[in-house]
Amino acid sequence: MNVNKRISGAVFRADHPDHTDLSETARASRNEPGRFNTSRFGAVYLSCEPDTAIKERRRNEGRVEHPCALFVVSLSVGNVVDFTLEEERRRWALTTDDLTSDDLSRTQQVAEKAYERAVEAILWPSATGQGTSVAVLFDRLAETSCLEVIHTFELTPSTLTAVDADTPIATIHPLLATFPRARSPV
């Protein structure tokens, strides 16, 4: 199982504006485990695209409420597993359905194995049907890795209404286009 890939660049997270402490975010995720973490270890959930981050927030919370912010996060990690690749899914015995199902048991089993193998981050196709999601296993970050909020955009009610009407968030906040996006490992 290949976990020696690297990813770096800007990734995105939609959350309450006060939630800039990503170590606390990872700690809190242990109380409500997600797709790629359990009560034993936390994760910070991000997206490779800003619009995907907002859609993921809506999918997980049922809606996106104000106050809300879009965080630009600088990410640089090694030991990445990329489940956007069919070959990688096969290696870990995962299906596309496992990655989008509301039943998280299979992905949490895989997360346990990844955690034991010191995987720092997991990429997979977003359950929203668009974009790529990223789970950073915070406790596994190497000393040379980086996970840091570098910019925050307020998501006002009018901004969220526009995004709901399929206006790309980068149209509303053009500065988003200036951040070099994280790319999937090659």
Cβ-contact 12, 70 below 8 angstroms = yes
Euclidean distance between CA atoms 45 and 22, whole angstroms? 10
Category of 50 on φ-ψ map: left (φ > 0), alpha (ψ -120 to 50) or beta: alpha
What is the secondary structure of 132-184 as a DSSP string? EEEEE-GGG--TT-EEEEEEEEE--HHHHHHHHTT--HHHH-GGGGGSPBP--
Could you report the per-residue pLDDT of 12-27, keeping only the tens digit for each?
A: 999 999 999 999 999 9
**Domain covering 5-162 in this structure, CATH number:** 3.90.175
Question: How much is the pLDDT for 186?
Answer: 47
How far is residue 170's CA from residue 177's CA, in Å, rounded to a whole number?
6
Classified as helix, coil or strand, 112 is helix
Q: Domain residue spans in the chain? A: 5-162
- pLDDT tens across 80-109, in order? 999 999 999 999 999 999 998 889 999 999
**Closest among 53, 51, 31 to 43, alpha carbons compared:** 31
pLDDT computed for residue 63 by the predictor: 60
